[in-house]
Structure 1
Amino acid sequence: MITQSIHSDSIKHIVTTRLLILLCSVGVMQGASAGAYIFAGETFGDDLIAYPSGYSGTGGPIQINVCIVPGSPNAAAMEQSIRNIIAVYNDLLPTTGNLR
């Protein structure tokens, strides 16, 4: 049996990255389609961060609009999940501890 230890900073990075990709895939950025930001992998590596438009790296709040396309399949079922994701993302504390 192999046991591997994962640091909480690594988990936060993974969760944050996946949440950002999920938010992008449901229409965070205007003109985006599902899967448009799934670009990490063999070509670019797995340790990538996709930033929203308007992000400058200088700190402070940034407004990101999230929407569900009206009439899309399961639109009503998506609403609470999207609200939950936004609440989790907004509760994350900014840190530089995961920078290398």
Structure 2
Amino acid sequence: MLIAFSVTPIGVSESVGDLVAEAVRVVRASGLPNRTDAMFTTIEGEWDEVMAVVKQAVDAVAAQAPRVSLSLKADVRPGVTGALEAKVEHIERRLAEQ
């Protein structure tokens, strides 16, 4: 499955980048395939392992912020692996055809 999520600390200074970086650090340390962009971090893996990483990322931010907002989107496809790269590669191939 793919999980795209965003963790936003609330009740801290205007700049939240340092706290968001802590969440991304947790994801990268997990060893699961992942990608971070300007809006979301996407992780690929099995349900329990991916959700455990999301919880750890939220906990890392919550340790330094009085409130945390979590946005999450999931693509649940049992038995599918490599989707994190394959979906983007498919789009790139289609764009190259034109």
Per residue, is there more helix in 1 or in 2?
A: 2
TM-score grouping bracket, smaller chain normalisation:
0.3 to 0.5
Per residue, is there more strand in 1 or in 2?
A: 2
TM-score by length of 2: 0.32
Relative contact order, CA 8 A, sep 6+: which one is greater?
A: 2
TM-score by length of 1: 0.32
